[in-house]
Amino acid sequence: MNAKKKRKIIVFNFLETGGDTSGEFELDDILFEVVEKKIGWDFSAAHYHIHELDGEVDAFVLSGVRDKSSFGNREVLHHPTRDLVRFAERTPVYTGLELSTLFANWTIRKILRDDQYFFKGKKVLFHTALYTPFANTFNEIGAEVQSADPLFLFGLPSLLKSNSQIMRFFRIVSPLLSSRRIAGRHVFTSWMQENTRTRLMQWVRSADVLVTYSALLGDVDEPEVFERKVVFTDFLTDAQRNKIMRFNPAQIIEYAPNLEAVKVPAHLWSFGMLTAVMDQIRMNQGVKASLSEFAFEMIEGMRLEPRRKGNLSSVPRRCAFIIHPLSVKHLALTPGMSWLSRSPKVIVRSAEQMLAHVPVFKYGQLTHARSDSTGQEVICDIYALCATPRAMLKMDENFIYNQLVAAAEHAHKNGAVMIGLGAYTKVIGDSGVTVARRSPIPVTTGNSYSASATLWAAREMVMSMGFVKPSDSRQLIPMKVMVVGATGSIGRVSAQLLAMVAKTVVIVAPRADKLLELRDELVELSPETEILVRTDPDEDLSDTDLIVTATSNQRGQILDIMKVQPGAVICDCSRPLDIRPEEARRRPDVLVIESGEIDLPGPVRMNVDIGLEKPSVYACLAETVLLTMEGRYESFSLSRQLQLAKVKEIYQLGLKHGAKLSSIRTHEGFLTEEMLNRCRQLARERRRDWVTAVPKAGRKLRLV
């Protein structure tokens, strides 16, 4: 049997001091013997050993030191390290910088392949950006880069909070970074060491991602700061990994390949070591390819992969949503605007128009929305536009478009992957199409989930009232339903869904031609359903069980509530509401509810008032959050034409992640069992002598 070939490698560890350590391992029929010399920041010692051992050993590895620092397009050579590389005449010297950068960038790309917005807008704290050559990659993918270089290099309690600050600092200290005295981790006094650790802990707590090196993790002596954080590092020892994992990090990402594959003992591991091993194998095999080319072949052949631990879904995703006041009354509830409720009408109207031109601004935030099925967390930034619907109708559409696009651009810079339009912002103009075309991120109106939640709530309330008997699931329910505003986006889909379950559907809208077109669609969709076409809802109110209103009405009353059948349910999903509270009070025997709102999964928190009892949210906002939760970054609901398939899909998506129908709102507040019982009892009493006015034949379409 042939004796194994031996290769001896000397490692100079510039970050530690103490006695030598040694080890050995086998790879590709070569026995590698390694001696590590912990020389601290002593370049003279390194020169001495290289002089003594040059030609006697097979490789020198420089660990914990870089031959250059860089950021952006600027780089500064570290002359003492360069001198060491050139000083050895017969034995090659390796730093591993190129291989380290390759694996780090490769790892980042693999992460982005799974989630292209993984780092977008996140606070990424570098232990030292100037000695992390792939820091530029984080800039390119939209991370909010921060760096502790002043602290790491000089003990200065200053955090660099932007790309420009890091570059400015780099220019100032470049002369020092090329010298032997500065370019590397300082050995501070004990007081300075304690001060740097305290500051670093504060910065890690406020960051989303820490980019560091295994050798520097000794500075992070409070591992609890890693809770729900991403740790991006070269590699970890078992002890380091176990220590961090105890505190529930979001992710531990090690871009060094699996050590078992390359056989290098953990206490001897470095990218310089891996580079040396690969080059020794290349020379032993007599391969003529360059080291870079051979390294690629080894990576492919050995299936070397970076490593990730933790739950990817625990890294929060971010979206945004735009709201606005539905009336001057709502505007007066805004902090600092209460004077509107006490002002004369002429002043209120002037203020309403002026405030409508205030630039859109970040109003607050929804946090801790968390999927029941995947654990994925979502943060939603809430932006506000001060325009009421009445003010919007008097404004130039392009001005509103510009406002909404500005919000999308701001949200994009803060890491949002998509943005939703609320209330009238999704109605104005072309219902989000122009905004989506100009926005840097996908835009959704949320109308698909609004339609779904509306009918969800309506179904629940009709069944709760008890006047409609449920039928076999394969048969149409013997009830009559009406959709007012049926040719609008939500109204059309509501009519489609109701046509598949109800025996009779009345569709109401101002334009007869659009109604006839919709009638043909509904007949084709559900041939057994009777479809009645109306331009005036009143003549069918007396025997209708469910009325859904989905208009953009700004002109007042849309139906005569006194003609509505006792025990009927009116589901008002218009904003502003079609049924005013004073109208609803006239008919305590009719259940008037607002559109279905949603309770998102998770311990949801919201630091602003959006007009609902916390933590309930509007269905359109919920759609934005659920799509983000699912990773469906697309303009899901746009224009005035909703797709039935998408309404069904977002409903199933909500069930998957744990969204629930929230408490039902009425004109008197949230519906209670007592309120429901009272309405039901009054309806029973009045239905005894209620005369149903059946429309005459030939009046299924009335032009007005």
Task: Write the pLDDT tens digit of every residue in 500-516.
Answer: 999 999 999 988 899 99
How much is the pLDDT for 190?
A: 46
pLDDT (average), residues 241-247: 87
Per-residue pLDDT tens digits for 335-387: 666 666 677 777 877 877 888 888 999 999 999 999 999 888 999 999 999 88
If you average pLDDT over each of 383-392, 433-442, 568-577, which comes out highest?
433-442
Residue 664: predicted pLDDT: 85
CA distances from 218 to 42, 190, 240, 299, 593 (A): 20, 14, 9, 30, 60
**Is the Cβ–Cβ distance between 641 and 492 less than 8 Å?**
yes
For residues 230 and 346, which has the higher predicted lDDT (pLDDT)? 230
Residue 40 contacts residue 74 (beta carbons within 8 Å): no
Query: Rounded to the nearest 5°, which phi and psi values hold at 4?
Result: -70, 145
**Domain segments of the chain: what residues?**
5-94, 97-275+287-313, 316-449+600-659, 473-598+663-687
pLDDT over 50 (residue 704):
no
Please compute the mean of the pLDDT values over residues 210-221 and round it to a whole number.
83
Mean pLDDT, all residues of the chain: 86
Can you give the pTM of this predicted structure? 0.72
Which is more confidently placed, 656 or 206? 656
154 vs 691, more confident = 154
Q: For the chain, how long is the longest CA-to-CA vector?
A: 112
Residue the block writes with tokens 């259940």: 591
* Run of H or E including 115: none
Say whether pLDDT at 697 is over 50: no
Q: Band of the pLDDT at 440, cuts 50, 70, 90?
A: very high
Model confidence band, residue 539 (pLDDT cutoffs 50, 70, 90): confident
Please give the CATH number for the structural domain made up of 473-598+663-687: 3.40.50.720
Please tell me if the domain spanning 97-275+287-313 has the same topology as the one spanning 473-598+663-687. Answer: yes
pLDDT value at position 311? 60
106 contacts 306 by C-beta, under 8 angstroms: yes
Per mean pLDDT, which range of 161-170, 278-287, 498-507, 547-556 is the poorest?
A: 547-556
**Average pLDDT of 49-64?**
95
Give CATH for domain 97-275+287-313. 3.40.50
* 354 vs 338: CA distance, rounded Å: 16
Q: Which of 169-183, 548-562, 632-646, 685-699 has the lowest mean pLDDT?
A: 685-699
**pLDDT at 101 exceeding the cut of 70:** yes
For the chain, how big is the Rg over CA atoms in Å? Answer: 34
Nearest residue to 593 (alpha-carbon basis) of 637, 560, 547, 653: 547
pLDDT, average across residues 420-447: 90
Q: Which of 561, 557, 551 is closest to 591 using CA atoms?
A: 561
- β-pairing, 144-147 with 209-211? unpaired
Report the percentage of the chain scoring pLDDT > 70.
92
Mean pLDDT of 480-505: 91
> Residues 6 or more apart from 304 whose CB is under 8 A from it?
257, 258, 261, 262, 298
Mean pLDDT, residues 230-245 = 89
Q: Model confidence at 189, in pLDDT bands (50, 70, 90)? A: very low
What pLDDT, in 10s, does the model give residues 601-615?
999 999 888 878 778
Cα dist. 114→32, 99, 313, 627 in Å?
37, 23, 11, 16
490-502: burial string, b at 16+ Cβ within 10 Å, e else: bbbbbbbbbbebb
455: left (phi over 0), alpha (psi -120 to 50) or beta: alpha
Nearest Cα to 134, choosing from 59, 211, 205, 64?
211
- pLDDT, residue 451, reads 85
Instruction: Please say whether the beta carbons of 535 and 557 come within 8 A.
Output: no
Environment class of residue 302 by beta-carbon count within 10 Å: exposed (0-12), middle (13-18) or buried (19+)? Answer: middle
543-588, pLDDT tens digit by residue?
999 999 988 765 668 899 999 999 999 998 876 778 888 999 999 9
Is a pLDDT exceeding 80 seen at residue 180? no
